[in-house]
Structure 1
Amino acid sequence: MDDPESTRAALHDFCAERLGPELAVQFVDLARPGFALTEAENPGDAAGLSRFGGRAMLEPGTPWPTCDGFPLSLLAVLDTAPLAPWLGDLLPASGAGLLNFFYLDAESEQCDPASYDLMQKYGPYETQVSRVIPARHPHAVETDPPARSSLFEPVPWAASPGFAFPDSFDWPAWRALELGPDVDDMHRAMPDVYVQELLTDWSQRPGALDTAGLAFGRPQVTTSNSPMLPRGEDPNLYQHLLQLSGENEWYIGGEGGWMHWSIPTDALRAGDFSRAIPTPALW
Structure 2
Amino acid sequence: MDPESTLSALRDFSADRLGPELAARFVELARPGFALTEAESPGEVAGHSRFGGRAMLEPGTPWPTCDGFPLSLIAVLDTDALAPWLGDVLPAGTGLLNFFFLDAESEQCDPASYDLMSKYGHYEVEVSSVIAARSAHAVETSPPVRSSVFDPVPWAATPGFAFPDTWDPAWNGFDVGPDADDMARAMPGDYVENRLTEWSQRPGALDSEDIAFGWPRFPTGSSPMVPFGKDPTHYHHLLQLSSHDEWAIGGDGGWMHWAIPTDALRTGDFGQAVPTPDIW
**Maintained 8 Å contact 2:225/2:232:** no
Post-superposition Cα deviations, 1:158-214, rounded to whole Å, max 9, x if no partner, equal 0000000001120x2112421122111112111112112211210010000121100
Counterparts of 2:35 and 2:50, CA distance in 1: 12
SS at match of 2:129: strand
Counterparts of 1:266 and 1:87, CA distance in 2: 16
Question: Counterpart in 2 of 1:271?
Answer: 268
* Counterparts of residues 1-283 of structure 1 (less than 5 Å): 2-93=1-92, 95-170=93-168, 172-283=169-280
Post-superposition Cα deviations, 1:72-91, rounded to whole Å, max 9, x if no partner, equal 00000000011111111111
Matched to 2:142, the amino acid is: D
**Maintained 8 Å contact 1:54/1:151:** yes
- How far does residue 255 in structure 1 lie from its aligned partner after superposition? 4.2
Structure 2, unpaired ranges of 5+: none
**Maintained 8 Å contact 1:65/1:131:** yes
Counterparts of 1:180 and 1:12, CA distance in 2: 17
Change in Cα spacing, 1:40 to 1:76, as seen in structure 2 (3 Å) is same
Counterparts of 1:91 and 1:108, CA distance in 2: 32
**Maintained 8 Å contact 1:246/1:255:** no
Post-superposition Cα deviations, 1:128-170, rounded to whole Å, max 9, x if no partner, equal 1000001111111111111100000000000000000001120
Counterparts of 1:17 and 1:199, CA distance in 2: 9
**Maintained 8 Å contact 2:224/2:232:** no
**Maintained 8 Å contact 1:223/1:257:** no
Structure 1, unpaired ranges of 5+: none
SS at match of 1:99: strand
SS at match of 2:91: coil
SS at match of 1:83: helix
- Structure 1, 229-238 or 195-204: larger mean CA deviation: 229-238
- How far does residue 127 in structure 1 lie from its aligned partner after superposition? 0.8
Alignment length (residue pairs)? 280
Counterparts of 2:229 and 2:199, CA distance in 1: 32
Counterparts of 1:204 and 1:45, CA distance in 2: 23
**Maintained 8 Å contact 1:101/1:133:** yes
Name segments (4+ residues, structure 1) moved above 6 Å: none
- How far does residue 227 in structure 1 lie from its aligned partner after superposition? 2.6
**Maintained 8 Å contact 2:15/2:23:** yes
Q: TM-score, normalization: structure 1?
A: 0.97
- Structure 1, 193-202 or 44-53: larger mean CA deviation: 193-202
Matched to 2:111, the amino acid is: P
Counterparts of 2:193 and 2:129, CA distance in 1: 36
Counterparts of 2:234 and 2:22, CA distance in 1: 22
